[in-house]
Amino acid sequence: MKKKLFFGFAVLCAAQLTFSVCADNPRLIIRADDMGSSHASNEACLKSVQEGVVTSIEVMAVAPWFPETVRLLNANPQIDVGLHLVTSSEWDNIKWRPLTHCPSLTDKNGYFLPMVVQNPNYPGLSIVESTWSIAELEQEFRAQIEFALKNIPQLTHISSHMGNMYFDKDVTAMVTRLAKEYHLGMEFDQKLNFVSYDGAHGTFAEKEASFLKMLEKLEPGKDYLFLDHPAYDTPEMRAVHHIGYENVAQDRQGVTDLFTSDKVKAALQEKGIETVSYNKVWKSLPRSTPEAENVDPAMLENYLADVKAKNQNVQSVMVVRNGKVVAEHWMNGGAPDELHILHSVSKTYTSTAIGFAVQEGLIKVTDKVISFFPEYLPEEVSPNLAKMEIRHLLMMSTGQAKEPGQLHTREFECGVTISDENWIKLFLAEPVINEPGTVFRYNSFATFMLSAIIQKVSGQKTIDFLYPRLFRPLGISGVKWDESPMGINCGGWGLWVKTEDMAKLGQFMLQKGKWNGEQLLSEKWIAEATSTKIMQQPNASAETMAKSDWTQGYCYQMWRCRHNAFRADGANGQFIVVIPEKNAVVAITAYLGDMQSELNVVWEKILPALKD
């Protein structure tokens, strides 16, 4: 069969299009447990992701090597990470303690009891044999969650160590409540099918054979979970054991070898088994077909053909209708799980952070900018600088004649060429020649100032401020954001996310701040942030207005478009286009110069495909 241009999972069943991967194939989470418990485990878990087939790592916040875990995972934010809740310390030669005072869970030395359930080798030393307290369990679980999130904000879920979330129904209910409170998934809350070795698994050879045999039995359309504990056979690990499990180092070296096995990699590919993260299984946007959402699939294919004919270097496109992905396509190096530099689309994420800060009473949009940074003010504060408010930063009307510093762009990167390391001081020193709020002047440093204000009032970088409020609830994970020399997220540029994460933000805006039935950000803010605040060219002719998407009005770090739409917009063709009248979102990543031409193809091909 001749291979055609294709849209991905969403239109799997459309006969006129062809796909490289079938969405009905089995999906498998391959999980590596116990990162943080030893240096050998830390290194093996990381290798099992980077060079192997592992898609999620579980970390132990109370274990001795957690600080190294934090460093490794924050250097690799794209890795899906779960928190392994711990209430037992099973090894004989190394122990860990709780973060809180919970005597019903500890031995006479203050260490966690070795077991959760009864074990004949450790009589009387399990939680179920003690007079355990659910209040102490919740206290400890909550402390571990908050400690882990403080250090690894990209955590996506929680999981059980030695069954400690399931030995009592009230405990399970309590943990489920905590997971919802912190916007974290639970390891088995989405009807995952647990699978293990199908046969003997003492040696590496047995593990590999039994794992491959297990793969043969995975059924199409189902999601599965496999887990084990990789480590290296080192002197450190040879000292780790408990009665009944003495060959820990050798056994866990075999797991590492399994997770990096070429045979395993080949088998997964040959059988069309998609290895996925927890986050992808739980928090991906739902998929549908174009026909089911009243979208013309032929028009979507015409869009791709037109992009190709015009030689537009589009790298990904995702179309969402009625909250469901109906089309997705990857080309020119784009890929579903690859982070993409957003350039100025970053601004919309920053303005959303401002919305949360306003909602929480940390700031008002009428607050004066100089009030946040008295230590960096110029010797003489001009009347116009004194008048500048947060809303003027949001609407690109600071009154400055030019942008501080000198921005330049290059492929997949946005850098700043300035001599002063203090960008706040640099911005405040720039002359404000117009009264703020009167003249549109695009200014990425204005957005940097918004990020600096978020960090000043919250004590957190903008990326960390957004994790509990936006990123975790929407399932946006593994992002990274460039920083200034002073450690402030750039705000106006430098954010890296996946294409679907862009679509999620657009859908969040379309749903007026609501997600999964929860009003995360007020509808009032979304309305304010997406309505015109200033015209870019107040005297533009009717002809210009009819042809240009850059003269329709500017909002809070977003642009109004033709067709009563609005968008986030980044250099070289990055777009999140929200079309309320069609209940649709279009997310695009690209590397091209003529962005108006790129939008024109959306209006000419995708917009008509969205039938009423």
**59/172 same-domain check:** yes
Mean pLDDT of 93-117: 97
Q: Tell me, yes or no, whether 292 lies in a domain.
A: no
Q: Residue 104's closest CA among 134, 143, 62?
A: 134
pLDDT tens-place string over residues 216-266: 999 999 999 999 999 999 999 999 999 999 999 999 999 999 999 999 999
Does any domain span residue 369?
yes
* Domain that residue 581 falls in: 340-609
**Domains contained in the chain, number:** 2
What mean pLDDT is reported for the chain? 93
- Categorize the per-residue pLDDT at 312 as very low, low, confident or very high, splitting at 50, 70 and 90: very high
Last residue of a domain, one of 248, 282, 316: 282
Asked whether residue 422 falls in the same domain as residue 547, the answer is: yes
State whether 139 and 226 are in the same domain: yes
Q: What band does 409 get if pLDDT is binned at 50, 70 and 90?
A: very low
pLDDT tier for residue 421 given thresholds of 50, 70 and 90: confident
Q: In this structure, are residues 126 and 119 in contact, taking their beta carbons and an 8 Å threshold?
A: yes
User: Which structure tokens are listed for 324?
Assistant: 């469901």
CA distance readout (Å), 104 to 86, 122, 165, 296, 504:
14, 17, 16, 62, 43
Dist CA 274 CA 287 (whole Å): 16
pTM exceeding 0.85? yes
Would you say residue 150 lies in a domain? Answer: yes
pLDDT band at 22 (very low <50, low <70, confident <90, very high): very low
* Residue at which a domain ends, from 246, 262, 282: 282
Pairing type for strands 518-519 and 27-35 reads: unpaired
DSSP labels for 323-378?
A: TEEEEEEE-TT--TT--EE-GGGHHHHHHHHHHHHHHTTS--TTSBGGGG-GGG--
Kindly tell me if the per-residue pLDDT of 417 is higher than 60.
no
Does 21 have pLDDT greater than 50?
Answer: no
Residue 596 tokens, joined: 């108006």
State whether 270 and 417 are in the same domain: no
Tell me, yes or no, whether 301 lies in a domain.
Answer: no
* 140/271 Cα distance (integer angstroms): 43
In terms of Cα–Cα distance, which of 355, 363, 400 is closest to 378? 400
Whether 156 and 71 share a structural domain:
yes
Interval 353-380 mean pLDDT: 98
Residue 428 has pLDDT above 50, yes or no: yes
Q: Is the domain of 223 the same as that of 369?
A: no
For residues 132-159, average pLDDT: 97
pLDDT above 60: residue 12: no
Model confidence band, residue 418 (pLDDT cutoffs 50, 70, 90): low
Same domain, 139 and 227: yes
Q: Are residues 467 and 348 in the same domain?
A: yes
Same domain (yes/no): 277, 349? no
- Domain stop point among 282, 317, 349: 282
Do both 387 and 466 map to the same domain? yes
* CATH number for position 164: 3.20.20.370
Residue 7 forms part of a structural domain: no
Residue 293 lies in a domain: no
pLDDT at 190: 65
Longest dimension (CA), the chain: 85
Is position 117 within any domain? no
CATH of the domain at 590: 3.40.710.10
104 assigned to some structural domain: no
146-150, 421-425, 463-467, 548-552 — which is least confidently predicted? 421-425
| Same domain for 399 and 278 | no
Q: Do 251 and 368 belong to one domain?
A: no
Cβ neighbors of 590 (< 8 A, separation 6 or more) are: 312, 313, 314, 315, 572, 573, 574, 598
pLDDT band at 191 (very low <50, low <70, confident <90, very high): confident
* Separation between Cα atoms, residue 49 and residue 275, nearest integer Å: 11
At 315, is the pLDDT very low, low, confident or very high (cuts 50, 70, 90)? very high
Distance of CA 178 to the CA centre of its chain: 20
Cβ-contact 470, 513 below 8 angstroms: no
Calculate mean pLDDT across residues 88-98. 97
Distance from C-alpha of 453 to C-alpha of 185, rounded to nearest angstrom = 31
